Copies of this chain bind each other. A is one copy, B any other.
Amino acid sequence: MSRPLILVTNDDGITAPGIKALIEVASEFGDLIVVAPDSAQSGMGHAVTLNNPIRLHQVALFDNIPAYECTGTPVDCVKLAKNILLKDRKPDLCVSGINHGSNASINIIYSGTMSAAMEASLENIPSIGFSLLDYSYQANFEPGKPFIRQLIDYVLKNGMEHGTLWNVNIPKLPEGQIKGIKMCRQADASWEEEFVEAFDPRGQKYYWMTGNFVNKDKGEDTDINALAGGYVSVVPSMHDLTNYKALHQLQAAEAFQKLNGHVSKAP
The chain A residues found within 8 Å of chain B, CB to CB, are 40, 42-56, 75-76, 79-80, 82-84, 106, 108-110, 115, 118, 122-123, 146-147, 150-151, 154, 157-158, 161, 163-164, 167, 176, 179-186, 188, 190, 193-195, 197-198, 200, 204-209, 232, 234-247, 249-251, 253, 255-256, 259-267
Contact = CB atoms under 8 A, between A and B. Distances in A.
Enumerate the 8 nearest inter-chain pairs by beta-carbon distance, A residue then B residue, closest first: A180-B264, A45-B46, A53-B206, A236-B246, A238-B243, A45-B45, A237-B241, A47-B47
Contact of A209 (B48, B108, B146, B250): B48
A249 B164 CA distance: 12
B109 A150 contact: no
A146 B263 contact: yes
A207 B205 CA distance: 37
18 contacts: A42-B51, A43-B49, A44-B47, A47-B110, A53-B206, A56-B205, A79-B195, A84-B197, A150-B259, A154-B259, A161-B245, A163-B243, A180-B264, A185-B240, A234-B250, A235-B241, A236-B246, A236-B250
A159 to B, nearest CB: 11
Given A79-B193, A82-B193, A255-B154, A55 B205 contact: yes
Contacts of A205: 55-56
Given A180-B260, A180-B263, A45 B115 contact: yes
Contact of A123 (B147, B186, B190): B190
Please tell me how many copies of the chain the complex holds.
2
A238 B194 CA distance: 24
A254 B256 CA distance: 44
Given A154-B256, A242-B236, A246-B164, A45 B48 contact: yes
Given A109-B241, A115-B45, A249 B193 contact: no
Contact of A238 (B79, B154, B246): B246
Given A44-B47, A80-B207, A266-B180, A247 B185 contact: yes
Contacts of A146: 263, 266
A207 B35 CA distance: 15
Contact of A83 (B42, B193, B255, B262): B193
A167 to B, nearest CB: 8
Contact of A263 (B106, B150, B261): B150
A43 B263 CA distance: 31
